[in-house]
Amino acid sequence: MANPHTDLFDYTSGRWMYNDALRHAERRLVFDVEELRRLAAQSVGLSPADVVDLSKLAEGRFNRTFLITSRDNFQMVARIPYPATVPKYYAVASKWPQWSSSVDLGCLFLRCTKLSDVWLELGKSDIISILRRLVQLESQMMTVPFPAGGSLYYTRDLEKATGTAAIPLKDGCFCVGPATRLPMWFGRRSQLDVDRGPYESAEAALVTPARKELAYLEKFGRPLLPFRRERREGYQYQEQSPSAHIENLKRYLLIAPSLVPEDSALGHFCIRHPDLQPSNIVVRRSSDSGWQVVSLLDWQHASILPLFLLARVPQRIQNHDDPVSQYMTPPSLPENFDELGETDTEECNKPHYAALSDHMCVLRSRLFNHASDPWEGETFELKVALIRATERWETLTGGSAPCPLVFDAGDVRETMELNEAQRKADETFHMCQNLLGLAPEGWMPIEESEAKVALCKQMKEIAVIEAMPEEERVELMGHWPWDDMDEGKHM
Predicted pLDDT of residue 204: 97
> According to the per-residue pLDDT averaged within each range, which of 291-295, 308-312, 321-325 is highest?
308-312
Give residue 27's pLDDT band: very low, low, confident or very high (50, 70, 90).
Answer: very high
Judged by average pLDDT, the poorest of 16-20, 261-265, 318-322 is 318-322
Burial class (CB in 10 A: 0-12, 13-18, 19+), 386: buried
Whether residue 109 has pLDDT greater than 80 = no
**Between 406 and 154, residue with greater pLDDT:** 406
Render pLDDT for 239-259 as a digit per residue (tens, 0 to 9): 999 999 999 999 999 999 999
Per-residue pLDDT tens digits for 265-304: 899 999 988 888 888 888 888 777 778 888 787 787 889 9
With bands split at pLDDT 50, 70 and 90, how would you rate the model's confidence at 49?
Answer: very high
Of 431 and 139, more confident: 431
Who has greater pLDDT, 169 or 97?
169
Model pLDDT, residue 206: 97
Query: What are 60-90's pLDDT values in tens digits?
Result: 888 888 889 989 888 888 888 888 888 877 7
CB atoms within 10 A of CB 325: 11
Q: Does the pLDDT of residue 133 top 80, yes or no?
A: yes
When pLDDT is averaged across residues 407-435 and rounded to a whole number, the result is 96
DSSP string, 328-342: TPPP---TTGGG--G
Provide the pLDDT for residue 399.
78
d(CA 279, CA 119): 10
How far, in Å, CA of 142 to CA of 162, rounded? 30
The pLDDT value recorded for residue 157 is: 84
Contact 195, 208 (CB under 8 A): yes
Q: What per-residue confidence (pLDDT) applies to 132? A: 85
The pLDDT > 90 percentage for the chain reads 54
pLDDT digits (tens, 9 = 90+) for 171-215: 888 899 999 999 999 999 999 999 998 999 999 999 999 999 999
Query: Would you state the pLDDT for residue 318?
Result: 67
| pLDDT at position 107 over 50 | no
- 342 pLDDT band, cuts 50/70/90, is low
Check: CB of residue 114 under 8 Å from CB of residue 281.
Answer: yes
pLDDT recorded at residue 347:
59
82-103: pLDDT as tens digits: 888 888 777 777 755 554 433 3
**What's the confidence (pLDDT) of residue 311?**
87
Neighbours of 305 (CB within 10 A): 24
- CA distances 481 to 22, 66, 437, 448, 485, Å, are 16, 35, 15, 19, 9
Domain boundaries, the chain: 85-331+343-429
Q: Which of 99, 108, 98 minimizes the C-alpha distance to 76?
A: 108
Strand order, beta sheet including 151-154: 151-154, 174-177, 167-168
What was the pLDDT predicted at 195?
Answer: 94
Residue 344: the pLDDT is: 44
Question: Does residue 431 have a pLDDT over 90?
Answer: yes
pTM: 0.88
Report the mean per-residue pLDDT for the chain. Answer: 87
Higher pLDDT, 462 or 313: 462
More confident residue, 354 or 453: 453
Model confidence at 346, pLDDT cuts 50, 70, 90, reads low
- Residue 218 clears pLDDT 60, i.e. is over it: yes
Residue environment code for 77-115, b if the CB has 16+ CB neighbours within 10 A, otherwise e: bbbbbbeebbbebbbbbbbbbbbeebbebeebbeebebb
Pairwise pLDDT comparison (334 vs 76), residue with the higher score: 76
